[in-house]
């Protein structure tokens, strides 16, 4: 599986490396009873550009709560991991956002997703001015960019 490149709104691109992309795709809910999965996006802002590289994603942990229609990420172990990666990368690997799966053919955020994304954008601590949100559906993968000054997240498009 190759990397995925997504066009940002104004300028720049987001590249999801092959390994994190495959990791997210491996959790697609192909069976009706399969539980949702999710995690966080970690990566870098490329110096002197508006480009972003998603280098790592986390997988669901035993402390997360999962059902066929919901995923609740446990805060404490995830924050500890973010802090560790930040230190070990000499402050270059950032928390970029969240990802989760949907048991649907198309990737569309639910009302719960939109409320949660607004809450995360307004309360989380992050280095950049935005956060990214990915939904991995059965038939597609999609990404949204969100900023605290925006009313709602904006869906980004795949780069040709």
Give the CATH number, domain containing residue 98. 3.40.140.10
List pLDDT tens digits, range 81-124: 999 999 999 999 999 999 999 999 999 999 999 999 999 999 88
Q: Residue 97 corresponds to which tokens in the numbers above?
A: 């956002």
Return d(Cα 74, Cα 60) in angstroms, integer.
9
Rounded to whole angstroms, the Cα distance separating 18 from 54 reads 10
Residue 14's pLDDT is: 96
What integer pLDDT is reported at residue 43 of this predicted model?
96
Segments of the chain scoring below 70 in pLDDT: 1, 159-160
Total number of domains constituting the chain: 1
Residue 32 domain boundaries? 4-158
pLDDT of residue 33: 86
| DSSP character at residue 35 | P
Q: Which two tokens stand for residue 89?
A: 């990368």
Mean pLDDT over each residue of the chain, to the nearest integer: 92
Range list of H helices, 26-160: 75-88, 111-123
């Amino acid at each position: 599986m190759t990397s995925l490149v997504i066009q940002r709104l104004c300028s720049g691109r987001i590249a999801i490396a092959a390994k994190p992309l495959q990791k997210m795709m491996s959790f697609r809910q192909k069976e009706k009873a399969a539980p949702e999965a999710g995690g966080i996006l970690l990566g870098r802002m490329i110096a002197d550009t508006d480009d972003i590289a998603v280098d790592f994603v986390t997988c669901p942990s035993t402390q997360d709560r999962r059902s066929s229609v919901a995923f609740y990420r446990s805060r404490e172990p995830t924050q500890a991991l973010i802090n560790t990666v930040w230190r070990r990368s000499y402050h270059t690997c950032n928390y970029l956002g969240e990802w989760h799966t949907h048991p649907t053919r198309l990737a569309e955020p639910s009302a719960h997703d939109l409320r949660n994304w607004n809450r995360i954008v307004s309360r989380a601590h992050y280095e950049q001015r935005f956060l990214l949100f990915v939904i991995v559906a059965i038939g597609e993968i999609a990404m949204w960019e969100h900023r605290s000054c925006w009313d709602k997240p904006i869906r980004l498009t795949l780069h040709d």
